[in-house]
Chains A and B, each alone.
Chain A
Amino acid sequence: MRFEINKDKLLYHLIVAQKAMSTKTPNPALQGMRLDVLEDHLVITTSNADISIQIKLEDQSLAIESTGSMLIPGKYFIDIIRKLDGQTVTLTQGDDTLLRIEADHSDITLNLLEIEDYPNLVFTEKEHFVKINVRTLKTLIRQTAFATSSIENRPILTGVHVKIDGNRLAAVATDSYRLSQKAIELESDYEPMQAIIPGKSLEELIKILEHNQDHVEVHFDQSRVLFKYRNILFLSRLLEGNYPETSKLIPSDFPVRIKFNKESLLTAIERASLLSNRDSSNAVVKLALRSDDTVEITSNAPEIGRVLEEVYPVDEVEGSPIKIAFSSRYFLEALKVFASSEVTISFTGEVRPFIMTGEYDEDMLQLILPVKTD
């Protein structure tokens, strides 16, 4: 096996493939990167327990002399390619166990991994798939995946629940302390279906997607989902089980509504959360609507000090004075995903969940559970 290719082209794709490479795994084969050299293109494959990536690499700089397959120690390979000088790199499989990397004045030999140990991965494309605009999908993920649980005690909550009905796709994520929900309109109608995609997989996927008007094909299987984006196949396992019915948990009647300038609310709460002596991202912050319709944001850490911020709502306030306490982290994380510059917070009661919505964030809501103090 021997070929040469533009170094930057190769590196770009290796970095994409790296997203699915394991660094910590008892199986050394999974630390490898599978490289298949075919007649006119390369196939790069990586995999870890949750996701697998397969890239079909065709390029005019690619000149294949002979074909073959090998399993390359991924981390060393990427680090070496990254540091090479020169435009072009030539890769040669010396015998079954060695890879020779030549570029400019460098001549490097890497010991290969045993390719027989590599799992047999199947990236099956389905006949029926869902087509989503890249930018829309990116936004959807960004606005929901952060609210998944990072804790494995309820595995189902580590995923984003995706539900398709007709031309509507709704995504929900919750770790049971907050909930995020976003719906998008699809370009055509689909059979009803649902799946739970691990939040972590989506966080990796989003790094691969560019911000453009391309489309992503989403192929759902019984236990897996395949995202096809340009020459990249991104495969994730699905979570099994029943996602809890969340719609009835979202209140619909809001006696108090306050519209804020997102930026000023954000900075006020960020300042208020500075005074937590344990974890500044997890401070308890209190919000109080005063009778004069100004809003007071406070936090109090007896050993450090206290913060009082006044925030003036935009527009008229609906409802009567209310006082509510919450974790600053959940609040800030939710607030940050809004594209709107003005955000409305709607309250049901002092110890009832409250929600955030924004005019330019259609079909999106962020729900947060307050904390009880005193």
Chain B
Amino acid sequence: MKMGKIRQLDESLANMIAAGEVVENMASVIKELLENALDAGAKNIDIHVANYGLKEIRVEDDGEGMDSEDLQLAFKRHATSKIRAHHDLHHIVTLGFRGEALPSIASVSALTIESSTGTTEGRRMTLKNGKVIEDRPAPPRRGTTILVKDLFYNTPARLKHLRSEQREFAAMVETVQHAALSHSAVRFSMQHNGQSVLNTTGRGDVLQVLHAIYDKHTVQHMRHFSGKNAYFSIEGYAGLPTLTRSTRKHITLVCNQRPIRNVAVSSTILDAYKSYLPIQKFPVVHLEIKTDPLLIDVNIHPQKQEIKLSEITSLKQLMLETFATMFKHEQLIPDVRKSPEPRFSHPKLSYQATSPHEAMPHVVEENDASNTQHDERASTDLNVEPSPKRRIRLPDFEYVGQALGTYLIFQNDEGLHLIDQHAAAERIRYEAYLQAMSRPSPTIRMLLLPLPISLGADEREAFRGQAASHLKHFGITIVEEDGQLALQEVPYWFPEGQEEHYTDQVMAAIQEGLTPDKATLLDKLAIDLACKHSIKANHHLTRSEIDRLMHDLDQTHNPFTCPHGRPVIIRLSIQELERFFKRVM
């Protein structure tokens, strides 16, 4: 007799399969457990990990806990306290909601859970292979402790596919860090083989969490920002462009207290840093987005990290503006020593919402972190709008000399400043060009004698077609006399003698795609032109050329990096020099 081939999976098998999606590594176990703890309203979460998590992961919280009945249900798949009906899915405010976590983890490990609401006696259950092997009362301590042992013991294939222990562990730490960053009001402590990995105070101070995650240097180079529009409010800390990392892992995004991944948002951050950062370098940024839960869809992946955002354009806009404001008010010389005073004087102080242009909150001795921050905000919060045209200025310094035909050396009471003359010239031209090109109606120079230019056949064709009107837009007018094309009008900013060459470049840029995005075209063109026509390295400069260069550099909006993002100025502080020479140790 033949049996039907299709049958209902038994529950433990179904759980193992689900575990494949939800519990793919140790980090995801931690993540699920942390989400449960946070959803339970924990204020203190202790994580103990043994042998990179393979041996043991223990998460202990002081959240609301479960009574015996709830605990029993917790191991049924899709059993959850967090969603009751269909429409709740559109208003997800808790971190977990799918009801998959506990049964999934239990199916691939030996799991012990002890929980109590604190009022009644608690309960302790141990499951192995999804089956309860121990079930007994526990002391009435409010909260839940989950111990996961021998993870993946029964799924050798998965065990085999884990990356190296270090990398798995790094991913776990990162998960805890993200949780701590998104819940700065919860105290996190993480230990590995008895050694402390992360400790946060739970005082609601993101900067303190950042300090716990990164080193002091990093935090000193991060600046607070915030901004708001109709749909979103954003806040966070952004590293100065000098603080670069070679991966984008140090961009953490939090949306409504959920650590998220979103390509559009992170690439917007990179856009904001564009022209400040070298190629293949990434900033350190912590960004928190607050918005109506209706605008986000978190249920697109079992790990709930990928989210979809509605009104993304409005968010991008807000981010770009906020970052631009912040950069504009920042001192961007690498290796800046913090000045003890805020840079602006404030006629009035207020304690209201933080302003995007506040100066650096000082870091941060563990015990007075929150105070310091509070004071900082108070003292730097402006009630008066600073002029939007305010530029960042170069510090005052005196010229010492030119080194290697390439670097200009300056000094002041803070130390030595080295300026890369090519980068400086590039920045100056880039801004001047971009500004000149971006003006809706350019200032135009007329030529008494039209300047003959040579164009290839295809360019001639293009010129007769659409290109002419694009050129006109730039302020370039070409006339044709006896088959010879000649420049009749050029933008005022074209340097004398370079008219033909610049026209060529504009032609080329237009032809490359007749790109509809004028801003991109202009930006690229400005970078190209600035690079090609700026003074190069190994070029001796006279004193007046140097004075001129510095004067012009001081007029730029961002004198600190070239348009490719390389630094223009670096500083060797007196302290560093003294250390080099062992005058101080």
Contacts and interface: CB of A to CB of B under 8 A. Distances in A.
Given A278-B552, A369-B446, A151 B432 contact: no
Contacts of B444: 371-373
Nearest to A352: B446
Interface stretch (A49-57, A81-89, A171-179, A197-205): A171-179
Interface string B121-152: 00000000000000000000000000000000
A372 B496 contact: no
A56 B445 CA distance: 48
B443 A369 contact: no
Interface stretch (B283-291, B333-341, B447-455): B447-455
Interface in B426-448: 432, 441, 443-448
A157 B489 CA distance: 18
B448 A176 contact: yes
A177 B389 contact: no
B492 A303 contact: no
A277 interface: yes
B446 A372 contact: yes
Nearest to B449: A176
Given A153-B500, A278-B432, A374 B448 contact: no
A284 B492 contact: yes
Contact of A154 (B432, B451, B555): B451
B497 interface: yes
Interface string A279-308: 000001000000000000000001100000
B503 to A, nearest CB: 12
User: Number of contact residues on A: which range applies?
Assistant: 20 to 34
B445 A371 contact: yes
Contacts of B552: 278
B496 A175 contact: yes
B445 A174 contact: no
B7 to A, nearest CB: 77
A313 interface: no
Contacts of A358: none
Contacts of A369: 445-448
A368 to B, nearest CB: 9
B448 A177 contact: yes
Nearest to B450: A176
B497 A351 contact: no
Contacts of A244: 449
Contacts of B489: 372
Interface in B261-286: none
Interface string A339-374: 000000000000101000000000000010111111
Interface in B445-470: 445-449, 451
Given A153-B500, A284-B492, A372-B489, A177 B447 contact: yes
Interface in B463-500: 489, 492, 496-497, 499-500
Nearest to B432: A278
A152 interface: yes
Contacts of A122: none
Contacts of B391: 303
A374 B443 CA distance: 7
A153 B451 contact: yes
Q: Is the interface of A mostly helix, strand, loop or mixed?
A: loop
Given A278-B432, A371-B492, A249 B443 contact: no
A371 B555 CA distance: 24
A370 B447 CA distance: 9
B446 A284 contact: no
Contacts of A325: 443
A283 to B, nearest CB: 10
B582 to A, nearest CB: 44
B496 A151 contact: yes
Contacts of B499: 153
Interface string B490-517: 0010001101100000000000000000
Interface string B529-569: 00000000000000000000000100100000000000000
Contacts, number: 67
A128 to B, nearest CB: 32
A177 B449 CA distance: 8
Nearest to A351: B446
Interface in B356-395: 389, 391
B449 A249 contact: yes
Nearest to A303: B389
Contacts of B555: 277-278, 303
Contacts of A374: 441
Nearest to A175: B496
B448 A353 contact: yes
Contacts of A327: 445, 492
B500 to A, nearest CB: 6
A356 to B, nearest CB: 15
A327 B391 CA distance: 27
Given A176-B449, A369-B445, A372-B443, A153 B432 contact: no
A101 to B, nearest CB: 30
Nearest to A373: B443
Given A153-B500, A278-B432, A303-B389, A284 B448 contact: no
Contacts of A175: 496
Nearest to B428: A278
A327 B495 CA distance: 13
A151 B490 CA distance: 16
Choose among A152, A244, A277 the residue with the greatest number of B CB atoms under 10 Å from its CB.
A277
A250 to B, nearest CB: 9
Nearest to A250: B448
Contacts of B449: 154, 157, 174, 176, 244, 246, 249
A149 B448 CA distance: 13
Nearest to B500: A153
Nearest to B489: A372
A66 B445 CA distance: 63
B389 A370 contact: no
A353 B448 CA distance: 8
A129 B365 CA distance: 90
Nearest to A244: B449
Given A277-B555, A284-B492, A151 B497 contact: yes
Nearest to A156: B449
A152 B497 CA distance: 7
Nearest to B497: A151
A374 B444 CA distance: 9
Contacts of B446: 177, 351, 369-372
A66 B552 CA distance: 59
Nearest to B475: A372
Interface string A164-189: 00000000001111110000000000
B270 to A, nearest CB: 28
Nearest to A302: B389
A327 B447 CA distance: 13
A374 B555 CA distance: 24
A369 B496 CA distance: 14
A178 B446 CA distance: 10
Contacts of B500: 153
Contacts of A278: 432, 552, 555
Contacts of A151: 496-497
A24 to B, nearest CB: 12
Contacts of B389: 302-303
A151 B555 CA distance: 27
Interface string A315-337: 00000000001010000000000
Given A277-B555, A372-B446, A176 B451 contact: yes
Nearest to B487: A176
25 contacts: A150-B497, A151-B496, A153-B451, A154-B451, A174-B448, A175-B496, A176-B448, A177-B447, A177-B448, A246-B448, A246-B449, A249-B448, A249-B449, A277-B555, A284-B492, A303-B391, A303-B555, A325-B443, A327-B445, A351-B446, A369-B448, A370-B446, A371-B443, A371-B444, A372-B443
Given A174-B449, A325-B443, A371-B443, 4 more contacts: A150-B496, A175-B496, A177-B448, A327-B492
A-B residue pairs, 6 tightest by C-beta: A151-B497, A372-B444, A176-B449, A369-B446, A176-B448, A176-B447
